[in-house]
Every structure is written in structure tokens, then in C-alpha cells.
Structure 1
Amino acid sequence: MSKDKIKDLVELRSRLYKGGGDAQIEKVHSQGKYTARERIGMFLDEDTFQEDFLMVQHRCSDFGMDKKDLPADGMVTGMGLVDGRSVFVASQDFTVNAGTMGEAGARKAQELMDAALKTGSPFVFINDSGGARVQEGVSALSGYGGIFYRNVLLSGVVPQISVIAGPCAGGAAYSPALTDFIIQVQREGQMYITGPKIIKEVTGEEVSLEQLGGVDAQAHYSGVVHFVAKSGPEALGLARRLLSFLPSNNSEEAPIMEESRNSSIGPDESFNFLVPDDPKVPYDMHEIIWRIVDNADFLEVQENFAKNIIVGFGRLNGRSVGIIANQPAFKAGVLDIDSSDKAARFIRFCNAFNIPLITLVDVPGFMPGVDQEYGGIIRHGAKLLFAYASATVPKFTVIIRKAYGGAYIGMCSKEMGADRVAAWPGAEIAVMGAEGAVSLLYGKEIKNAEDKAAETKKRLEEYRELFANPYVAAKRGYIHNVILPADTRSYLAASLEMYASKREIRPYKKHGLIPL
């Protein structure tokens, strides 16, 4: 091989690696942001990135595009390692024509997704784009369509993570919405379908880009975004941490952290003092979760949305688990439309990727109210029931305090397929709370009593003694055990080990994909 040919290749690569050039790179840096290749370098293990399709060029000749050179067509694609495991990653290059998506760049992303499907490796897409390349018209739209289609093919087969590190507008926002998890960078990333100018023209509403598509909008109100990061490096670190809890594909198990095996799973007396005796007094369910998982390492998903339920990943005795828990510190932990959707989606993901489920219950019921009924609480609540009942991974439930009415069933009761159900000794398992039940059952007696307060207290004590405790359910086999709070972690760890080989045969159904 001649030295000239080698020199030519080195020079070509050097030029293409600079994307839109030094001036554009400096402009990105001046905004506190990073280039596409810098982001990939932060995400992957050091020196493991191998770029594909570096020399791809667009073929558009309209609107003067034939005179434009767009290195790598504004899309950096390739493969590398995260903690030694293979991952495919695509990153939009804002230094090249504002990262707009054209036919060639879209085709690069599609081929990468095909490779992820063939090899059973996760796919990560870092979004930072001005949207579809207008000059390419329907070709750009076709490119997006091909990506959406592959998002669905990959769903439930390999994990898909989207990082919103810049604009992600219009139809482009639907690709992240079709992936499993979205990480958005504060102030730098925005997601929206219709921009502020069009909204003002159509509805007269005035709104800024950040108000419309920033983290407050998408992580707090809509629930579209699962994780919020303060910076680009933090977002990419979050993506790495998230992958550590997940298998590479749906035919594997999540990695086992050997250093956490058999460590500190004996009785923990601190559990005994976490929950107030009065069922109306709130407490933070995180305090229980942190004591259950190894090293208090809990990665919460959608932390800022539907806070009345907590979902996220942890490890127990080194094994990855998905945790779903009512949060008494917010809306008393009641189930409503948003919390039902949030939990159901998380359960379906864990089931698709062989991650056991732990459910911690302290729920007063489903949220009453006209808005909830009109909004479809029945339809949305049914999603939670369906998700739990259809999940075939190991399922363990611990009733911490309250489990009332349909919500007792909805939070993975034994009848919904839970493999082991335990309750703390102070748990109340009943059709409704004691106050409501006493008012309904003994209303006449209380009304006719000389001392109504004394009669009410008497009836409350009777009801709690007879019905609102875990022993009635235990006697009838509706729960497996009443356990000491201090034994919760060891009980769950032993359950996880015993059911690690669980196999469950279900009636044959037409094969399909796991719904989002």
C-alpha cells in the first residue's frame, strides 16, 4: 500500500471527524454543550468506539444542496462497549446542518438498529437535531418512518434508550417515545410536537421553548421523560448506570453483581420503626426501599411524575429487581390514572426483560372523583391489572400497611399471580378503611348511642380486630406469611433465590410485541 493512499485516508478521516468544522464546534462548546463524538466518548468504555458509515454522503440536489458537503450526513453511528458489554449508539451532529435528519443519516441509524436486533445488543440514540431536513422533503420523512418501524421491532427484544441532549421536535419526538427510557438534559434538551410559533398562530397561546418542551413539561406534567440530568455528561452516566441493571436482550438475565451476593441479608431492626401506627400518618416509602436493595442503590424511574407511586431498579443479593411501591407521602399512595399508567408500563418492561418484580403495598384504594372517572380511571387502572396478571417473571408482594378494596388486588395480590405475598403484622387488608366500613355497617347503632364517640371507637376496635388485619387473609391462604418488618430483606432475598428458575406456562396466544 502506498504511503500516499494511507495519508489520503488519514486526512479524509481527520476532516470528517470534525463534522461541521472548527467554527461550528466552537459554537457548540460556547453554549456549554458537546459534539456528537464527544458524547459517544463519554458514554462508551474508553477507546472502544468503532464508527460505521463515516463516509456516507447525502444525494439531495434541490435548493442548492448539491453544493453542500455534510460530513457523515450529520449522524454519527457505530458500536462499542459499556462495562464490557456490546452497545450500538447513534448520535446526531448539530455542527452539521444543525443535525437535521436526511435520507442518508436515517439509513445509517436504521442499519445500526438492524445490527442491534441481529446481535441482541442495546441501542442508544443521542438526539440533538433541528428536525427533518426540509430540502429533502418526503425522503426525510421516509427516513423517520423507517426508524419508528425499527423502534417497534426492537421493543421488548433489546433495551432502547434515548438521550435528549438538544432539540427533538415534531415527528422526531416519536422515536424517543417508542423507546424504553428517555433521559433529558436540563435547559439543553427540549421535546415537543408543535413549536411555540405554530401554537400561537393556531390557539393564541404564548409559550417558550423551555416551557413547552423542557424537563418541567415532559418529566413533571406529561411523564414522557423518565430521567432528568443536569448536564450532558450526567445524562450519559445515567444511561450507563441504567444499562447496568438490564440484560442485553430478552433471552438473557441481567448481570449479577457478585460483590453484593450474600451481604447483609440478616434481620434489620431499623425496619420496625419506619411506619407510623396511625394509618393516616404519611411516611416516605423510599426509606423502606433503600433498606431492601443492596447498598441502598435504587435507580428511580419517572421520579417527578405520578409521585404517588414509585418505580425503579435495584439489586437484591446481587440480582436486578424492579420495584413498584405506593408512596404514602404523596396523595396517601392512592392509585389514579397517571400512577396506573406509570406502573403498568414499568411492569411490562421488566417482564419483557426477565427482571423479577417486588411490590410494596400501602394503598387506600383507587382515586375517587368525577375527573378521574371522566378521564378513564377504569381503563387506565385495567392496564395495571393486565400488566401484573400477564407478567410471568418472579413476583413478590409485601403489604406494609394498608391494602384496601380493588387496590389490594391491583397491587399484585396472590390472585393476580404473585408467587409469594407477605404482610407486616400491622397491615390492614380489607374492602375499605375501618372508618368507612364502621360508618356503613354500624351507622344506626352509632346514631342511636348515647355516647356516639365511645360507640364509634368501640366499633372501630371490633372491626380492626375481626377484619382489618393480616391474620384473616393468612388463615384463608390469601397471603403466604405474616413476617416481622426486620425480616423483610432476608425474606425477599430468599424468595428471589428460590424463584430464580421460575417457569410458567400460559395459554397460547398469537405472537406479538410487548405493548408500550
Structure 2
Amino acid sequence: PLSNREKPPVRESYDEADREESSLDTLVPANPNQPYDMKELILKVVDEADFFEIGADFAKNIICGFGRLDGQSVGIVGNQPQTLAGVLDIDSSRKAARFVRFCDAFGIPLVTFVDVPGFMPGTKQEYGALIKHGAKLLFAYAEATVPKLTVITRKAYGGAYDVMSSKHLRGDVNYAWPTAEIAVMGAKGAVEIIFRKEAGDPEALAAREAEYKERFANPFVAAGLGYIDDVIMPHGTRRRLIKALGTLKNKVQENPWKKHDNIPL
């Protein structure tokens, strides 16, 4: 749009709104440590496989760009498991925060695809103020009043899960694939901390890890708590997103009045 007073342009779509993509059912590998290409999911969901990526060569562990769903312009943010396992670091947080604020400024709905194992660990990131830059992305999503749709495809761990357009940041419609894992951290790391007294007993730790996976390596616990609106099959992702976008077409939300925000600079 030419200004924030205009609605984003809508054009006629030559792609079927209820198109299903069966290949998405096998997109996420069975091995949780094996990467896959998030761009493949984006291209198979948007109209006519037409996706305009922004800043493709910077912070490749996160994808930002524009696409259309049934003719409606949307801004798309997605973690890229093929680069640094899709973690959030300083550069990716800044890149995504800037993009989210741009979309919100011009009334463009946001679609977020989540597969994030957490924030990047290490002293280099901490000395570079990872918390401050990560807060920029959290702030951008929290402040955004445009329709916000989220699909969790695999890992959604810890604070990085919260930051990526979760229900806690006023996400409107949050879906999860059956392969989604919404937890504080991965099973192995969590068990080693929680049951560190059993560190000398590999069999006991293995049993604890299996128990943890059974409970948290699926989206149903989060759905029971209301953090997920529905668990959907991957092949129906496009149809469900378009339906949700239509429901939110006339969404009106205002933030509390203030002179200006105290953005984390």
C-alpha cells in the first residue's frame, strides 16, 4: 500500500484456496536432528509458489518475505533449519523484528512458520547483547495489531517459542503439525538437568528421556493448555491458513494509548 491508511492490495488468485499438498506430510524428517528446507513449505503454501524473499543473504537462519494467500498479501517469517538449525541469534532477531514492524506499519497480515530450538548460546552472542536484540523481535510481535497466524512444524523450545508469534504475544490463530514439540528444551538436555542425581545410571536416564518425549514431544499438551488452537495435518496447511485469514479479515485491535513506545534499542 502507498500509506498506512490503505489496505494491502488484493488480486485475483489462480491457485485453488482448498489445494492440499500431500508432500508436506513427509517434509519433516523422522530424525529430529536432520534439517529440511523451510522455503519448500512456504513455496507450497503460497499462491502459485510465488514468494518474494527479503534479505536472503543476511541471517539465513530466518526467512522473511512476501507472498499471497488466496490473493491476499501476507508477510511471512520462518525459521530455516538448514542454517544453524534455525536458532535465533542477534542478526536473525534484528532482521525479523524489522520485517514484522514493516508489515504491521502497513497493515499486512503476518504468517509465521516455527521450528526453533532456542536462542544461540555462547559468550560472543551474550557480549553482543543477544537479550536486547531478541527483545526487539518479541516487542515487534507483541505490538503488532495485524492478523497473526502461526504454524509450528517441529521444535518450539523455551524463550524462542514465546518470541515467534506465540499465543503469549497475542497470536490470533496458532496451529501445530503432529510433529511439533513445544517444551522448555529438548528431552535429552532437560532430563540431564532435572534428573542429574541419576547421571550415573544410563538406563534410568534413558527411561526418563523416553517419558519426557512421550509427554512433550507432541503438541497435545500445549493444545490442552490453550496455547495451540488446533493440531492440523501438514497437507491442509494452505487451506487452514486461508480460512483463518478470512476469519480475521476485519480484525480491529488497538494498543493502549501512550506518547510512544519504549522500544528496546
TM-score (norm 2): 0.95
Pair 419,264 (structure 1): closer, same or farther in 2 beyond 3 Å: closer
Give CA deviations for 1:448-481 in whole Å, capped at 9, x if unaligned: x3xx2x4443222210111232100001111111
Gapped regions of structure 2 (runs ≥ 5): none
CA shift for structure 1 position 249: 1.4
Whether 2:53 is the aligned partner of 1:288: answer no
Partner of residue 479, structure 1: 228
Which residue identity is paired with 1:255?
P
Whether 2:112 is the aligned partner of 1:359: answer yes
Pair 324,484 (structure 1): closer, same or farther in 2 beyond 3 Å: same
> Could you say what secondary structure the match of 1:403 adopts?
strand
Residue 348 (structure 1) aligned to one of 101, 105, 113 = 101
Partner of residue 65, structure 2: 312
Partner of residue 147, structure 2: 394
Which residue identity is paired with 1:253?
K
Partner of residue 175, structure 2: 422
CA–CA separation in structure 1 for the residues paired with 2:22 and 2:167: 27
Partner of residue 136, structure 1: none
CA–CA separation in structure 2 for the residues paired with 1:360 and 1:490: 15
Structure 1 ranges of 4+ moved more than 4 A: none
Partner of residue 13, structure 2: 259
Gapped regions of structure 1 (runs ≥ 5): 1-246
CA–CA separation in structure 1 for the residues paired with 2:216 and 2:13: 44
CA shift for structure 1 position 497: 0.8
How high is the sequence identity, in percent, across the aligned residues? 58
Residues 17, 242 of structure 2: 8 Å contact kept = no
Give CA deviations for 1:469-496 in whole Å, capped at 9, x if unaligned: 2100001111111111111111101011
Give CA deviations for 1:113-166 in whole Å, capped at 9, x if unaligned: xxxxxxxxxxxxxxxxxxxxxxxxxxxxxxxxxxxxxxxxxxxxxxxxxxxxxx
Give CA deviations for 1:415-461 in whole Å, capped at 9, x if unaligned: 101001010111110001111011112233341x3xx2x44432222
CA–CA separation in structure 2 for the residues paired with 1:325 and 1:265: 22
Aligned CA-pair RMSD: 1.7
Partner of residue 214, structure 2: 465
Pair 489,420 (structure 1): closer, same or farther in 2 beyond 3 Å: same
CA–CA separation in structure 2 for the residues paired with 1:416 and 1:427: 19
Larger helix percent: 1
> Could you say what secondary structure the match of 1:251 adopts?
coil
Which residue identity is paired with 2:143?
S
CA shift for structure 1 position 318: 0.5
CA–CA separation in structure 1 for the residues paired with 2:205 and 2:46: 41
The number of equivalent residue pairs is 264
CA–CA separation in structure 2 for the residues paired with 1:393 and 1:321: 10
CA–CA separation in structure 1 for the residues paired with 2:239 and 2:160: 26
Query: Using CA pairs below 8 Å that are at least 6 residues apart, which structure has the higher relative contact order?
Result: 2
CA shift for structure 1 position 266: 3.0
CA shift for structure 1 position 270: 1.2
Which structure has the larger Rg? 1
TM-score (norm 1): 0.50
> Could you say what secondary structure the match of 1:444 adopts?
helix
Pair 515,404 (structure 1): closer, same or farther in 2 beyond 3 Å: closer
Which residue identity is paired with 2:242?
A
